[in-house]
Amino acid sequence: MLVMSRLRVLWEKLNNELKYSASNPINFDEIWSFQSTGIRLISLIILYSILVGFLFTLLVIYGPLSSYLSTNDVDIDREILEKQNVEIVSLSEKLEVQDAFISNISKLIHGQELDSLTVDDIMEMPLINYDSLNENFTQSEQHLAEKINENLRMNQVEEEHVAIFGSPVVGEISQDYNERSHVGVDIVTKKGAEVKACLSGTVIYSGFTQKDGYMIIIDHGNGFLSIYKHNKTIFKKIGDKVQLGDPISIVGNTGENTTGPHLHFELWHNEKAVDPSDYINFKK
């Protein structure tokens, strides 16, 4: 009986007509007003909520938001993501190779020692494939290529492999190659002599270091690098293509590791220093 009594009182209150108005707080003038019962006001709120919900449902199903709920689009996005993942993995592998290459070049620039090739490794080293290096041969390179092919046919690599590269300068060797203490040769030549590329290739470093002065590194392909240190000035920049015999610098005396004008020349194969005298005759 108590519950019914309270419900009856609540129903009567909701059926009472009330006036709802808004007034100006300064002069209390009435701006707008309306009269309604509580039952009608609650019904209006419920109807408005249903209408808003219906419109939102239409927007989700047929409007711009529908693309986020479509299973087909999700499948397409998944395929795109899988392709992108494959590309990212491929790029990551290439970056790792590039980082390793840059790291090795940095070691060469700073004079860090690496394990040198043995005599047997040098004898078994494959000769350069000139066709893969450059399609446009210079006359000198054509002559060298023909000589190498002849050497291969005659199996005379031991005596003739000194002619694979051209000499960067002509002069006297003042300090020989030593795999532990001096991974290159020092050549004393005439003052102001031009330093020439020992083979065609691409300049991968051209700059100045405190230790070795003005220096150039050329990548010849097939794992071969040539390094030219202590130059007075350099003519080439990173990315330049050079041919056999192209002038790349002037012999100098720059850097801390020098006691007079000369060219310090290094030859590397597969990240290991080899004796340049086994490949080049500097006394032509």
Q: Over the stretch 171-213, which tens digit does the pLDDT of each residue have?
A: 999 999 998 899 999 999 988 899 999 999 999 999 999 999 9
- pLDDT computed for residue 157 by the predictor: 39
Helix (H, G, I), strand (E, B) or coil at 40: helix
Range ranked top by mean pLDDT from 6-20, 30-44, 90-104, 209-223: 209-223
| Token pair in block for residue 30 | 């009435």
Token pair 């002849």 is found at: 150
Per the model's pLDDT, the better-predicted residue between 237 and 137 turns out to be 237
- pLDDT computed for residue 129 by the predictor: 47
Quick check: 284 and 170 in contact, CB under 8 A?
yes
d(CA 242, CA 227): 14
Range list of β-strands (E), the chain: 17-23, 30-37, 172-175, 185-188, 194-196, 201-209, 213-221, 224-234, 241-242, 247-251, 263-269, 272-274
Q: Is the pLDDT of residue 272 over 70?
A: yes
- Taking the CA atoms of 181, 187, 188 and 191 in sequence, report the sign of the dihedral they define: negative
Tell me the average pLDDT of the chain: 76
For residue 160, name the pLDDT band (cuts at 50, 70, 90): very low
Mean pLDDT over 30-51 rounds to 77
Quick check: 70 and 76 in contact, CB under 8 A?
no
For residue 46, name the pLDDT band (cuts at 50, 70, 90): confident
Q: Over the stretch 48-76, which tens digit does the pLDDT of each residue have?
A: 888 888 888 877 777 666 655 555 544 55
d(CA 101, CA 96): 9
pTM value? 0.49
Quick check: 195 and 228 in contact, CB under 8 A?
yes
Q: Over the stretch 119-135, which tens digit does the pLDDT of each residue have?
A: 344 344 444 444 444 44
Quick check: 166 and 142 in contact, CB under 8 A?
no
Q: Over the stretch 246-261, which tens digit does the pLDDT of each residue have?
A: 999 999 999 998 888 9
* Alpha-carbon 147 to chain mean position: 38
Is 267 exposed, middle or buried (CB count within 10 Å of its CB: 0-12, 13-18, 19+)? buried
- pLDDT computed for residue 92 by the predictor: 76
d(CA 101, CA 205): 12
d(CA 254, CA 263): 10
Range ranked top by mean pLDDT from 18-27, 162-171, 218-227: 218-227
d(CA 47, CA 59): 19
d(CA 246, CA 198): 8
